[in-house]
Structure 1
Amino acid sequence: MDIAMITIGSRGDIQPFLALGQALCRRGHHLGVAAFPRFREDVEKLGFSFFPIRGDEDRMMKLLIGDGVSGIAYMNGLTALLNRNKREILDDVYDACRGADLILYTFLGSLAYHAAESLKIPCMRVNFWPADRTGDNPMPGMPALPLGRWYNRLTYDLSGVGFSIFTNQELNGWRAGLGLSKWAGRSYRTLSGRPVETLCAYSEVLAPRPKEWGEHLHLTGFWFLEERAAAPVEKGLLRFLENGDPPIYIGFGSMVGGSFAELQDIVLESLKSTGQRAVLSSGWRKFDAAGLPPNVYGVDAVPHGWLFPRVKAVVHHGGAGTTAAGLRAGKPTLVVYFGGDQQFWGNRVYRAGAGPRPLARKGLTAKRFTRALELLEDARLRQNAARIARRLAQEDGCENACDVIEAYMTRFAV
């Protein structure tokens, strides 16, 4: 089976697809991945076909997950982002879908929905957070107000209205060229009057399945990329890890919003106050590695699956994948969230007793960060994180997702 994967976003959006792709390849399927050009090497080194999607990923992250980006600001940013080169993105997505037997797409890859409709190819959504209507909690990224279940459900409806930004003349012109009717803001959750099968790539351990959800929504567990057991790392990092107490990991992945010089100052001041050792990881925005104190070691990309078991706690932006990796390693977790679904995952960690209450990057101070680092020392957090790790070890999200995909395609072929 030829499967097209459409993922528009950061490393946190593409890495789960690469993990799933590994499992699908073991079952004899062929993968094609459409993503931003910076991920070509990651895709091709696993033997998958790569389809570039034109766009400015740094600008995307700043508009969509900058400091304190609200739900409304998110949609405004998405509009600005896609309007810049929407036709090119539409064409890139369509080209990546042609010839596939199945299309998988993320929230930001929902333009593949139109390609699937035109090409008459079955498609499945992939969500990294609860993105379907429930009264249990508001849509991640929307304000959490104490108004009850009716309000929580409403936030999902509002997000659907917001995502109908694609109901403009250019999209409808593109659809007309594909032989499709005008797009009138219908929900991306249904196609041809039926719910779109959906893979929820996270674990019930952190986000239990809402009772009101239909059978087309499948919680598979997190998708972890298989990393080499002996991942090559620099000798300086190995010496730092071996010559002292286990450090804290601190890194913010693909976040690009706000002043990273200010953030580094906050981090270093807090580490000095608490006497902690730390591995400080640069992501899309680089920290200034020059002149770091002896208790802090600066790195670029280091596989989380290798590094996290070697630290005593993790501090990060709260992306679903990094959250899962930290808890899989049994580490207490502090989330400093920038936007999107990150506060949601930070709150899930806090409610599970595996970390302090999450902190907003906007308005973060050294005093608040220092207090949170002190709370990470609580033995109860370590115990709860270890308990979660044992439960996550019993799940195989990628294999579960493969089972769902193959069962769905069997039904579709009948």
Structure 2
Amino acid sequence: MRAILTNFGTLGDIQPFVALAVELKRHGHQPVLAAAPSYRALARQHDVDFIPVGPDLREAQSGITQAMMGSPDVVHSAGGMLQLFQPLLEALPLMFQDLRAACQGADVLVSGRVQPVARMVHDLTHLPFVTVLVEHSGSGGGSPAFQFAVRGLVNPLREAHGLPPLDNPLVDGLSNQLVLTALSRHVRPPASDLPPHHHTVGYCLVDEPAFTPDAELASFLAEGEPPVCITFGSMTHADPAALTDTLVAATVRAGRRALIQHGWSGLGQRVLPPTVRALGQVPHSWLFSRVSCVVHHGGAGTTGAAFRAGVPQVVVPHTYDQFTWGEVVQQQGCGGAALPIGELSAERLGDALSAVHARADIQASAARLGEQLRAEHGTMKARQLLEDLVRRVGLATDSKAEDEADAEDEGRQQRRKSALKQQRARKVET
């Protein structure tokens, strides 16, 4: 089975598809990651075939995030959202062209919700289509202004290819054949009235048992108590140096050693005290199990990785659905109230770190949930459902093709018989 796996967005949006690709390849299939050119190295790291889709829009994505952080009301302005989406609007035709070409000879297309052209490719090619979500399907429609902007992004290209417009592409663009929610029911139980083709499979995370840290990181981890890990992923900040100072001061206030990941902002790139180390890209599945607490932005993937590691969390939401994930962490008893980035201070973060380390109930809740999640096998369940769909739809497609071929052969025979009768009739007339 040749499977094209695609999504648009940041590392957290792409990683579930890498996890599924690794699982598919392990079972003899031919997965291909089709994503922005900047993810080629990620695919190579996991020995997964890669096809670039569209241009690299990292700067545009950072600009959108910063604009929404600086002016949260922009999500309620249709004109403001359309303006933010302009770079994506210009890139959409190339993304569609690249993804459609990548699907030549494929057996199935597997896409995230925020890949704007995947549903178009399915509608035009009728390739079996699967949607993978990181949140239940009832979420993710966005504000009315956001929906308006997404319609303005997607529908002109759909109409140019003879396809009907979608009222809400983030909801109406989901697969009608199979929807996989890569989220644990222990974290957020699914609704009881989901359609039968919707399945909650559990987190799809890449395990990195073979990862080897560099000597400096290995030494730092070994020389004292487990440190705090601070990671804001793809979030960008106007003054990374000042934010780094705040983070360092918070760890000093709490009396904790710390690891600060650079992320897209380049945090930690200054002189640091001996109790703090900066580091680049390190797999969260490896790192989080070796720290005492994770301070993060509340991305769905990072939250899931911290849940699975069984460690307490301090969520510092920046934008999007990160505030919701901060609430989920608190509801699960795995952390206290979230600290929005606009309200962050060394005092507040330091006190939050002290609290999660002092509270036995938070430690116990995090450990218990981690055990439950590590017993799940989200990527295995997703792979099995994907195989079932292709087997079922493929057989139906093959049968239909055979029926059409038989009908065409029968039609040819009837036409031949008719032509022979006409020839005989003409001979009789002469």
TM-score of the aligned structures, taking structure 2 as reference length: 0.83
Question: In the superposition, relative to structure 1, how do residues 400 and 158 fare at CA in structure 2: closer, same or farther (>3 Å)?
Answer: farther
The answer to whether residue 106 in structure 2 is matched with residue 119 in structure 1 is no
The answer to whether residue 154 in structure 2 is matched with residue 172 in structure 1 is no
Question: In the superposition, relative to structure 1, how do residues 169 and 289 fare at CA in structure 2: closer, same or farther (>3 Å)?
Answer: closer
Q: Partner residue of 1:304?
A: 284
Match of 1:263 among 221, 243, 246: 243
Distance 2:40 2:267 in 1: 25
- The residue correspondences of 1:214-363 to structure 2 (distance < 5 A) are 214-229=195-210, 231-363=211-343
The answer to whether residue 29 in structure 2 is matched with residue 29 in structure 1 is yes
Deviation at 1:395, TM superposition (A): 0.4
- The residue correspondences of 1:90-101 to structure 2 (distance < 5 A) are 90-101=96-107
Gaps spanning 5+ residues in structure 2: where?
397-430
Deviation at 1:335, TM superposition (A): 1.1
Over residues 45-104 of structure 1, what are the superposed CA-to-partner deviations in whole Å (9 max), with x where a residue is unaligned? 433321112132132133047526464469446622312322222212222222211101
Match of 1:163 among 140, 144, 150: 150
Secondary structure, counterpart of 1:195 in structure 2: coil
Q: Partner residue of 2:86?
A: 80
Distance 1:350 1:219 in 2: 22
Deviation at 1:162, TM superposition (A): 4.7
Q: Which moved more, 1:381-390 or 1:57-66?
A: 57-66
Deviation at 1:303, TM superposition (A): 1.7
- The residue correspondences of 1:397-408 to structure 2 (distance < 5 A) are 397-408=378-389
Question: In the superposition, relative to structure 1, how do residues 196 and 337 fare at CA in structure 2: closer, same or farther (>3 Å)?
Answer: farther
Question: In the superposition, relative to structure 1, how do residues 264 and 6 fare at CA in structure 2: closer, same or farther (>3 Å)?
Answer: same
Residue type matched to 1:375 in 2? A
Question: In the superposition, relative to structure 1, how do residues 141 and 124 fare at CA in structure 2: closer, same or farther (>3 Å)?
Answer: closer
Deviation at 1:169, TM superposition (A): 3.8
Secondary structure, counterpart of 1:108 in structure 2: coil
Q: Partner residue of 2:108?
A: 102
Match of 1:367 among 347, 354, 377: 347
Distance 1:380 1:263 in 2: 30
Deviation at 1:305, TM superposition (A): 2.1
Deviation at 1:167, TM superposition (A): 4.9
Over residues 130-162 of structure 1, what are the superposed CA-to-partner deviations in whole Å (9 max), with x where a residue is unaligned? 2x23xxxxx3595xxxxxxxxxxxx6x876555
Over residues 207-240 of structure 1, what are the superposed CA-to-partner deviations in whole Å (9 max), with x where a residue is unaligned? 11012322221111001213133x2212122221
Secondary structure, counterpart of 1:362 in structure 2: helix
Over residues 105-133 of structure 1, what are the superposed CA-to-partner deviations in whole Å (9 max), with x where a residue is unaligned? 11221311101111110111111122x23
Contact map agreement 1:67 1:257 (CA 8 A) in 2: no
Residue type matched to 1:407 in 2? D
Q: Which has the larger radius of gyration?
A: 2
Question: In the superposition, relative to structure 1, how do residues 167 and 393 fare at CA in structure 2: closer, same or farther (>3 Å)?
Answer: closer
Distance 2:286 2:166 in 1: 47
Gaps spanning 5+ residues in structure 1: where?
134-138, 143-154
Distance 2:297 2:309 in 1: 17
Distance 2:289 2:155 in 1: 48
TM-score of the aligned structures, taking structure 1 as reference length: 0.86
Over residues 227-283 of structure 1, what are the superposed CA-to-partner deviations in whole Å (9 max), with x where a residue is unaligned? 133x22121222211112211111111112443223212111212222211111111
Deviation at 1:38, TM superposition (A): 1.4
Quick check: which one's helix share is greater? 2
Contact map agreement 1:60 1:81 (CA 8 A) in 2: no
Over residues 325-347 of structure 1, what are the superposed CA-to-partner deviations in whole Å (9 max), with x where a residue is unaligned? 21212100111111222222221
Contact map agreement 1:249 1:278 (CA 8 A) in 2: yes
Deviation at 1:185, TM superposition (A): 3.5
Q: Which moved more, 1:77-86 or 1:345-354?
A: 77-86
Deviation at 1:172, TM superposition (A): 2.4
Distance 1:362 1:163 in 2: 27
Secondary structure, counterpart of 1:334 in structure 2: strand
Question: In the superposition, relative to structure 1, how do residues 257 and 49 fare at CA in structure 2: closer, same or farther (>3 Å)?
Answer: same
Contact map agreement 2:260 2:268 (CA 8 A) in 1: no
Distance 1:141 1:248 in 2: 34
Question: In the superposition, relative to structure 1, how do residues 387 and 77 fare at CA in structure 2: closer, same or farther (>3 Å)?
Answer: farther
Distance 1:370 1:324 in 2: 23
Residue type matched to 1:62 in 2? G
Distance 1:409 1:11 in 2: 27
Secondary structure, counterpart of 2:131 in structure 1: strand
